[in-house]
Amino acid sequence: MTKIISASAALVDLPVETVRTDAVQAFVKQETIVVDLRTDDGLDGTGYSYTIGTGGRAVLSMLRDHLLPLLEGRDARDVEAAWRELFAVTRATTVGAITSLALAAVDTALWDLRCLRAGEPLWRLAGGFRRAVPVYDTEGGWLHLSTDDLVRGALAAKESGLRGVKLKIGRPRAEEDAERVAAVRAAVGPGMDIMVDANQSMTYAEARRRAHVLEPFDVGFFEEPLPADDVQGHRELARSTSIPVAVGESLYSVGQFRDYLARGAASVVQADVARVGGITPWLKVAHLAEAFNVAVCPHFLMELHVSLVAAVPAGTYVEHIPQLRAVTRTELPIEDGHAVAPDEPGLGIAWDRNALDDLRVA
């Protein structure tokens, strides 16, 4: 038995590295919830999750008041059992964002311990499919940017070897979105993927109309066109357009993904390891997607998702949005348009403890 002898959590506010806007919000800061677990055999595991500006204190309270006290004395090797027990004691608040984010912070710390104990990197212990995975860029595609800015960003991404770019859409008129996507397609040519993201901002009718005007530009996928709880709308949209429909960043359980896939409402799965409750449920979603022959292109968190996408056959893309550079000592290596998963034991995130302490919320 390998007992957990201490469990703690902290909230760290990370400023955004650049202005980030979409059709419904601005990314003001990243509230990062960090969990540290120590075992009686001398190992220290660190996990984390995040919010975009709100709710971080609620996640921290959930951890400190309800989840972390249950971990001390547990066998850290029993990751699935720990996840199920913590899920069960929070039944009154599941399925929900705050609980899933809290579970994820614990679960990723347990996986860090699992990998450290095995002496293996996450990408191998979680599946070991291949080490390097394609990358697309979102950092140059925010909604507030001008068309010229979008073109410059896409060309820079292409020059650096990235395989695709994502553009935020949701301008007041469909023609504006079409003109922006058309300009980027003309600049990068046919050999580069262009994805679009509406951030749940549209009605079914509007999303169908925008998909129609975007189809000539060979769009790789149409992300979150509708509110995440509108499974039927996504199903109808997927049937009405040749553009693959992508969902998942705003789904918080394996069951929600099952509903989308079973009804043919998702052509691309974008499970977010923090929002779905950690690595343990993320892998279930990824294998579920594989069973439906659907690609997995997770949302955000490239520093962690690179290893998970590398672990599974359905993993297709990692999204390039750097956000941990202020609190880590290394950067994600990108070679020939592919992110390379860390090969050292653990999650592969080299935390800068001094930086974390400096940004810790009192």
Catalytic residue among 158, 166, 234, 299: 299
Region 50-70: mean pLDDT is 95
- What are the structure tokens assigned to 255, written together? 């069951």
pLDDT tens across 74-83, in order?
999 999 999 9
**Residue 31, token pair as written in the block:** 């509230």
- List pLDDT tens digits, range 290-333: 999 999 999 999 999 999 999 999 999 999 999 999 999 999 99
| Residue 304 token pair | 């962690």
How confident is the model at residue 19, as a pLDDT? 87
Read off the pTM. Answer: 0.96
Active-site pick, 166, 168, 320, 338: 168
Note the pLDDT of residue 220.
98
Mean pLDDT, rounded, for 105-111: 98
Count CB-CB contacts under 10 A for residue 329: 12
Of 14, 6, 82, residue with least CA distance to 48: 14
Sort strands 268-269 and 245-247 into parallel, antiparallel or unpaired.
parallel
The question of whether 166 is a catalytic residue gets the answer no
Higher-confidence residue of 128 and 26: namely: 128
Are 152 and 140 in contact, with CB atoms under 8 Å apart? yes
- pLDDT above 70 coverage of the chain, percent: 100
User: CA-CA distance, 50 to 56, in Å (whole number)?
Assistant: 7
In 193-261 the beta strands, taken as DSSP E runs, fall at 193-197, 219-223, 245-247
Task: Examine the pLDDT at 114 and tell me if it is beyond 90.
Answer: yes
Cβ atoms of residues 256 and 288 within 8 Å: no
**Mean pLDDT computed over every residue of the chain:** 96
Question: Quick one: pLDDT band at residue 339, thresholds 50, 70, 90?
Answer: very high
Q: Which of 24-33, 105-114, 156-165 is predicted with the least confidence, judged by mean pLDDT?
A: 24-33
Q: Taking residues 52-70, what's their average pLDDT?
A: 95
Q: Is the pLDDT of residue 94 over 90?
A: no
Q: How large is the average pLDDT for residues 224-232?
A: 97
- CA 192-321-326 angle, to 5 degrees, is 150
Q: Please give the pLDDT value at position 27.
A: 86
- What pLDDT, on a 0 to 100 scale, did the predictor assign at position 53? 83
CA 275-211-146 angle, to 5 degrees, is 80
Question: What's the pLDDT at 105?
Answer: 98
- Residue 155 sits at φ, ψ, to 5 deg, of -65, -35
3-state secondary structure the chain: CCEEEEEEEEEEEEECCCCCECCCCECCEEEEEEEEEEECCCCEEEEEEEECCCCHHHHHHHHHHHHHHHCCCCECCCHHHHHHHHHHHCHHHCCCHHHHHHHHHHHHHHHHHHHHHHCCEHHHHCCCCCCEEEEEECCCCCCCCCHHHHHHHHHHHHHCCCCEEEEECCCCCHHHHHHHHHHHHHHHCCCCEEEEECCCCCCHHHHHHHHHHHHHHCEEEEECCCCCCCHHHHHHHHHHCCCCEEECCCCCCHHHHHHHHHCCCCCEECCCCCCCCCHHHHHHHHHHHHHCCCEECCCCCHHHHHHHHHHCCCECCEEECCCCHHHECCCCCEECCEEECCCCCECCCCECHHHHHHHECC
The answer for residues whose C-beta is within 8 angstroms of residue 130's C-beta and 6 or more apart is 310
Whole-angstrom Cα distance, residue 326 to residue 322?
10
Q: Tell me, yes or no, if 168 is annotated catalytic.
A: yes
